[in-house]
Structure 1
Amino acid sequence: MPNYRYQGRDRFGKIKRGKASGATPRDVTMALREKGIAVINLTEVKETLWNRELTLERSVKSQDFVVYLRQFSTLLNAGVPVVDATSLLAEQTESPALKKALFGIETELRAGHPFSESAAKYPKIFPLLFVNMLKAGELSGNLETSLERLADYYEKQHATTQKIKSALVYPISVSIIAVAVIIFMLTFVIPRFQAMFASFNTQLPLITRMVLGTSRWMTTFWWLIMIIICALVISMYILSRQSRIHYQIDRIKLKMPIFGPLLQKAAIARFSRTLSSLLASSVPILQAVDMVGKVVGNKVIEKKLIETRVAVESGESIASSMKNSVVIPPLVTQMMAIGEQTGALDSMLAKVADFYESEVEHTTDRLKSLIEPVMILILAGIVGFIVLSVFLPMFKLYNQLG
Structure 2
Amino acid sequence: MARFKYNGRDKKGKKSGVINASSKREAVLQLKEKGIRVLEINEVPETFLTKELSIGNPVKLQDFVIYLRQFSTLIRAGVPIVEATAILSQQTESKTLKKVLLMVEQDLRDGNPLSAAAAKHKKVFSSMFVNMIKAGEAGGNMDETLEKLAVHFEKQHYTKQKIVSALAYPIVVALVAIGVVIFLLVKVVPTFVDMFKDFGGELPAITQFVLHASSFMQTFWWLVVLLIVAIFVTIMMLRNNKNTKYYLDYFMLRMPIFGKMLQKAALARMTRTLSSLFASSVPILQALSIVENIVENEVIARVIEKSRRSLEQGKSLTDPMKKHWAFPPLVTQMIVIGEQSGSLDAMLSKVADFYEKEVESATDRLKALIEPLMIVFLAGLVGTIVTAIIVPMFDIFNHVQ
Q: Same fold (TM over 0.5)?
A: yes
* Residues 307 and 319 in structure 2, CA contact (< 8 A), matched pair in contact too: no
Question: C-alpha distance in 2, partners of 1:2/1:397?
Answer: 72
TM-fit CA distance, 1:75:
1.0
Counterparts in 2 of 1:20 and 1:400: CA distance versus 1, 3 Å: closer
Question: C-alpha distance in 1, partners of 2:230/2:152?
Answer: 39
Match of residue 21 from structure 1: 22
Q: What secondary structure does 2:202 align onto?
A: coil
Match of residue 355 from structure 1: 354
* Residues 322 and 328 in structure 1, CA contact (< 8 A), matched pair in contact too: yes
For residues 309-346 of structure 1, what are the alpha-carbon distances to aligned partners after superposition, in whole Å with 9 as ceiling and x for unaligned?
10011112323342222101111111111111100000
Match of residue 12 from structure 1: none
TM-fit CA distance, 1:240:
3.2
Match of residue 317 from structure 2: 318
Counterparts in 2 of 1:188 and 1:396: CA distance versus 1, 3 Å: same
The residue type paired with residue 66 of structure 1 is V
Counterparts in 2 of 1:245 and 1:220: CA distance versus 1, 3 Å: same
- Equivalent positions of 1:275-290 (< 5 A) are 275-290=274-289
Match of residue 193 from structure 1: 192
Counterparts in 2 of 1:326 and 1:42: CA distance versus 1, 3 Å: farther
Question: C-alpha distance in 1, partners of 2:42/2:97?
Answer: 20
Match of residue 146 from structure 1: 145
For residues 249-296 of structure 1, what are the alpha-carbon distances to aligned partners after superposition, in whole Å with 9 as ceiling and x for unaligned?
100000100110010010000000000000101111001001111111
Question: C-alpha distance in 2, partners of 1:298/1:395?
Answer: 55
The residue type paired with residue 207 of structure 1 is I
Counterparts in 2 of 1:375 and 1:107: CA distance versus 1, 3 Å: same
TM-fit CA distance, 1:118:
0.9
TM-fit CA distance, 1:246:
1.1
**Structure 2 residue 112 is the aligned partner of structure 1 residue 90:** no
Question: C-alpha distance in 1, partners of 2:25/2:68?
Answer: 30
TM-fit CA distance, 1:233:
3.4
Match of residue 125 from structure 2: 126
The residue type paired with residue 152 of structure 1 is V
TM-fit CA distance, 1:216:
1.7
* Residues 56 and 125 in structure 1, CA contact (< 8 A), matched pair in contact too: no
The residue type paired with residue 384 of structure 2 is F
Q: What secondary structure does 1:315 align onto?
A: coil
Match of residue 161 from structure 2: 162
Q: What secondary structure does 1:374 align onto?
A: helix
- TM-score, normalization: structure 2? 0.88
* Residues 4 and 42 in structure 1, CA contact (< 8 A), matched pair in contact too: no
TM-fit CA distance, 1:145:
1.4
The residue type paired with residue 399 of structure 1 is N
Q: What secondary structure does 2:144 align onto?
A: helix
TM-fit CA distance, 1:38:
9.4
Match of residue 14 from structure 1: none
Counterparts in 2 of 1:393 and 1:97: CA distance versus 1, 3 Å: same
* Residues 56 and 97 in structure 1, CA contact (< 8 A), matched pair in contact too: no
The residue type paired with residue 131 of structure 1 is V
- Equivalent positions of 1:25-174 (< 5 A) are 25=25, 43=38, 44=41, 47=44, 54=52, 59-174=58-173
5+ residue gaps, structure 2: 6-18
For residues 28-74 of structure 1, what are the alpha-carbon distances to aligned partners after superposition, in whole Å with 9 as ceiling and x for unaligned?
76xx9xxxx9997665585499x968499962111111011011111
For residues 86-128 of structure 1, what are the alpha-carbon distances to aligned partners after superposition, in whole Å with 9 as ceiling and x for unaligned?
1111222222221222222222212211110011111122111
Question: C-alpha distance in 1, partners of 2:239/2:74?
Answer: 42
5+ residue gaps, structure 1: 6-17
Match of residue 336 from structure 1: 335
Q: What secondary structure does 1:316 align onto?
A: coil
How many residue pairs get matched? 384
Question: C-alpha distance in 2, partners of 1:392/1:91?
Answer: 66
The residue type paired with residue 276 of structure 2 is S
Q: What secondary structure does 2:365 align onto?
A: helix
TM-fit CA distance, 1:399:
2.9
Match of residue 202 from structure 2: 203
Question: C-alpha distance in 1, partners of 2:320/2:163?
Answer: 29
Question: C-alpha distance in 2, partners of 1:184/1:89?
Answer: 48
Q: What secondary structure does 2:199 align onto?
A: coil
* Residues 275 and 349 in structure 1, CA contact (< 8 A), matched pair in contact too: yes
Question: C-alpha distance in 1, partners of 2:53/2:171?
Answer: 29
**Structure 2 residue 237 is the aligned partner of structure 1 residue 238:** yes
TM-fit CA distance, 1:26:
9.1
Counterparts in 2 of 1:56 and 1:263: CA distance versus 1, 3 Å: closer
Question: C-alpha distance in 1, partners of 2:34/2:176?
Answer: 58
The residue type paired with residue 234 of structure 1 is V
Question: C-alpha distance in 1, partners of 2:82/2:299?
Answer: 41
- Range that drifts further, 203-212 or 284-293: 203-212
**Aligned alpha-carbon RMSD (Å):** 2.8
* Residues 21 and 27 in structure 2, CA contact (< 8 A), matched pair in contact too: no
* Residues 3 and 19 in structure 1, CA contact (< 8 A), matched pair in contact too: yes
Matched-pair identity in %: 50
Counterparts in 2 of 1:218 and 1:292: CA distance versus 1, 3 Å: same
* Residues 20 and 27 in structure 2, CA contact (< 8 A), matched pair in contact too: no
Q: What secondary structure does 1:312 align onto?
A: helix
TM-fit CA distance, 1:138:
0.8
**Structure 2 residue 195 is the aligned partner of structure 1 residue 214:** no
* Residues 268 and 351 in structure 2, CA contact (< 8 A), matched pair in contact too: yes
Q: What secondary structure does 2:318 align onto?
A: helix
Match of residue 247 from structure 2: 248
Counterparts in 2 of 1:247 and 1:41: CA distance versus 1, 3 Å: same
